[in-house]
Structure 1
Amino acid sequence: MSSLSASAATPTPEADAPAVPVAVPNARAALLLIGTAVLALAVYYFIGVDQGATSVFGNDMHVHEFVHDARHFLGFPCH
């Protein structure tokens, strides 16, 4: 039998306690937004636009074949 009990778990916040907002500096928020946008555009390119023959990495890197099923699942035509 375990010596741990349910009361030994970490305490949960009160249900009626007000939520405390997290302050993020504007410079950090801008960097996070730009980084997220760049990452999203890169993912969009590799899944939705990269066709293999016109790949940024040439014919040696077959990114198109790696994400082929994901393209069809997301509704991108590729043939």
Structure 2
Amino acid sequence: MSSAIHAPVSRPVPIPIGEILPWAAFAGILALLAIYFIGAEQGATALMSGHYLHEFVHDGRHIMAFPCH
């Protein structure tokens, strides 16, 4: 006679929203900063003088289809 051995079933532990929310807000702020510096840091809205930041993110600008010329 053969008997089947059943492994214990483990259930995923839910993560409380209170633990996710600060990290989601932090990631959102970083994403908005990245989009600003890649997409809008030039001309009248520039926070930094000169074109160093523009040239640093120039290729990323074209990859994300932001016009800059």
* 1:6 paired residue number: none
In the TM superposition, what is the alpha-carbon distance from 1:22 to its structure 2 partner? 4.2
In the TM superposition, what is the alpha-carbon distance from 1:41 to its structure 2 partner? 0.2
- The TM-score with structure 1 as length reference comes to 0.61
- The TM-score with structure 2 as length reference comes to 0.68
Q: How many residues align?
A: 62
1:52–1:64 contact (8 Å) kept in structure 2: no
Structure 1 residues 69 and 23, CA gap change in structure 2 (3 angstroms): same
Structure 1: runs of 5+ lacking an equivalent: 1-17
Cα deviation, 1:34-59, whole Å, max 9, x if unaligned, reads 11110110110011111166421233
* 1:31 paired residue number: 22
CA distance in 1, matches of 2:46, 2:16: 38
* 2:6 paired residue number: none
Structure 1 residues 65 and 53, CA gap change in structure 2 (3 angstroms): farther
Among all aligned residue pairs of Structure 1 and Structure 2, give the percentage whose two residues are the same amino acid: 43
RMSD over aligned Cα, in angstroms? 2.5
Task: Tell me which of 55, 59, 62 is aligned to 1:65.
Answer: 55
Q: Detail structure 1 runs of 4+ shifted over 4 Å in the superposition.
A: none
Letter of the 1:64 counterpart: H
1:51–1:64 contact (8 Å) kept in structure 2: yes
In the TM superposition, what is the alpha-carbon distance from 1:23 to its structure 2 partner? 2.4
Moved more, 31-40 or 48-57: 48-57
